[in-house]
């Protein structure tokens, strides 16, 4: 897992244009995730790692008439600040946003407080085997967890290009950082499913959405991923004063060695980025576990 100081640093920068970077790409994902929450009147909802509050904003657009209580938690002050400016005019609903570590919040939170808990793009930063039992604690019986996450396969694609390049181009890398700083790892979907079941959930449903975005060229994709928090941890390992040079070298490396979802990278040509995103929902058991 990435350490908390690095996460804060990544999202301090990402907060500036996070919404612009992800708005169109993730729209179908957020919409599907909200469908699965099965929100009804007076629902209490917790968004863990809420970021700039895009999901809460979408929930309010669709269910603002439902007199909801929503709490959002995020480690990054800047992401929470970007969320806060969105929620001036939602009278009748209660929205509270806290800058706090999610695990700390969940440990201190009263039991069975929420009808719905959503966790979107957080599993790269938190050990899901420890997170899910705490979500079980704060959910009411019969309450629903909705998880949005990248697939491990995709993480591996990124790791493949990054480490392949790093091994061939040591001059561009801070090797000490590579060995001392563990990269994020999202558990495979099968493992996530097992962890959810062990934490006392049932009625597991999963869906894969292939989100898509076209960039003018591969370099544009690299800069987007470096800025957006999406693969920042990889690119942060590039030696900072050689970043541009390193990015161009990484593009040349990709053209020679990297086929991404069946597409050959071509320098100067448009690059079609495909990002597989899983949406998983499950219900907290009301009694005995069922298989």
Ligand X SMILES: C[S@@+](CC[C@H](N)C(=O)[O-])C[C@H]1O[C@@H](n2cnc3c(N)ncnc32)[C@H](O)[C@@H]1O
Position closest to ligand X via CB: 51
Rg (CA), the chain: 20
Q: Does residue 7 belong to the site contacting ligand X (CB under 6 A)?
A: yes
Q: Which residue in 37, 44, 49, 232 binds ligand X (CB under 6 A)?
A: 49
Binding residues among 192-251 for ligand X as defined by CB under 6 A: 229
Q: Which residue in 11, 173, 224, 234 binds ligand X (CB under 6 A)?
A: 11
289 DSSP assignment: -
Q: Does residue 144 belong to the site contacting ligand X (CB under 6 A)?
A: no
Alpha-carbon span 179 to 121, nearest angstrom: 25
Stretch that binds ligand X, among 121-129, 162-170, 181-189, 234-242 (CB under 6 A): 121-129
Q: Which residue in 126, 139, 145, 196 binds ligand X (CB under 6 A)?
A: 126
Q: Which residue in 39, 70, 79, 265 binds ligand X (CB under 6 A)?
A: 79
Q: How far apart are the first and last CA of the chain?
A: 30
Alpha-carbon span 177 to 179, nearest angstrom: 5
Q: Does residue 39 belong to the site contacting ligand X (CB under 6 A)?
A: no
Q: Does residue 51 belong to the site contacting ligand X (CB under 6 A)?
A: yes
Q: How many CB atoms lie within 10 A of CB 29?
A: 21
Q: Which residue in 34, 43, 50, 283 binds ligand X (CB under 6 A)?
A: 50
Indicate the residue among 74 and 236 with the shorter CB distance to ligand X.
Answer: 74
Stretch that binds ligand X, among 45-53, 87-95, 136-144, 205-213 (CB under 6 A): 45-53
How far, CA to CA in Å, does 255 sit from each of 18, 99, 177?
28, 41, 26
Stretch that binds ligand X, among 81-89, 115-123, 158-166, 167-175 (CB under 6 A): 115-123
Looking only at Cα atoms, what is the longest distance across the chain?
Answer: 58
Alpha-carbon span 102 to 54, nearest angstrom: 18
Q: Which residue in 68, 82, 102, 166 binds ligand X (CB under 6 A)?
A: 102
Name the minimum Å distance from CB 262 to ligand X: 26
Indicate the residue among 50 and 70 with the shorter CB distance to ligand X.
Answer: 50
Closest to 251 measured CA to CA, from 217, 216, 212, 215: 217
Stretch that binds ligand X, among 68-76, 86-94, 181-189, 245-253 (CB under 6 A): 68-76
Q: Does residue 54 belong to the site contacting ligand X (CB under 6 A)?
A: yes
Name the minimum Å distance from CB 47 to ligand X: 7
Strand 271-284 versus strand 259-260 pairing type: unpaired
Alpha-carbon span 25 to 172, nearest angstrom: 31
Cite the DSSP H helix spans in the chain: 4-14, 18-37, 54-63, 77-84, 102-108, 128-138, 152-168, 175-180, 189-198, 218-227, 232-235, 243-257
Stretch that binds ligand X, among 51-59, 149-157, 174-182, 256-264 (CB under 6 A): 51-59
How far, CA to CA in Å, does 92 sit from each of 4, 62, 64, 165?
35, 14, 8, 53
Stretch that binds ligand X, among 118-126, 217-225, 250-258, 273-281 (CB under 6 A): 118-126
List of residues contacting ligand X (CB under 6 A): 7, 11, 49-51, 54-55, 73-76, 79, 101-102, 120-122, 125-126, 229
């Amino acid at each position: 897992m990435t350490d908390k100081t690095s996460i804060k640093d990544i999202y301090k920068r990402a907060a500036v244009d996070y919404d612009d970077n992800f708005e169109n790409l993730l729209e179908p994902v957020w919409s599907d995730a909200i469908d699965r929450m099965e929100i009804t009147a007076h629902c209490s909802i917790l968004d863990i790692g809420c970021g700039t509050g895009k999901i809460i904003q979408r929930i309010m657009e669709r269910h603002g008439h439902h007199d909801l209580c929503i709490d959002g938690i995020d480690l990054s002050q800047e992401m929470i600040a970007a969320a806060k400016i969105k929620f001036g005019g939602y009278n009748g609903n209660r929205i509270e946003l806290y800058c706090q570590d999610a695990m700390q919040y969940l440990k201190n939170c009263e039991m069975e407080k929420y009808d719905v808990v959503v966790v979107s793009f957080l599993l790269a930063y938190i050990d899901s085997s420890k997170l899910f039992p705490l979500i079980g604690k704060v959910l009411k019986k019969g309450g629903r967890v909705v998880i949005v996450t990248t697939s491990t396969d995709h993480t591996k694609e990124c790791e493949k290009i990054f480490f392949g390049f790093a091994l061939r181009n040591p001059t561009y890398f801070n090797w000490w950082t590579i060995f001392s700083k563990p990269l994020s790892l999202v558990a495979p979907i099968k493992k996530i499913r097992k962890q959810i079941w062990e934490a006392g959930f049932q009625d597991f449903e999963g869906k894969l959405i292939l989100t898509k975005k076209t960039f003018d060229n591969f370099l544009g994709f690299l800069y987007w991923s470096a800025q957006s928090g999406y693969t920042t941890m990889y690119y942060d390992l590039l030696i900072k004063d050689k970043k541009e040079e390193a990015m161009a070298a990484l593009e040349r490396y990709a053209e020679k060695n990297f086929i991404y979802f069946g597409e050959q990278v071509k320098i100067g040509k448009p690059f079609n980025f495909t990002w597989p995103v899983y949406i998983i929902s499950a219900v907290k058991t009301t009694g005995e576990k069922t298989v």
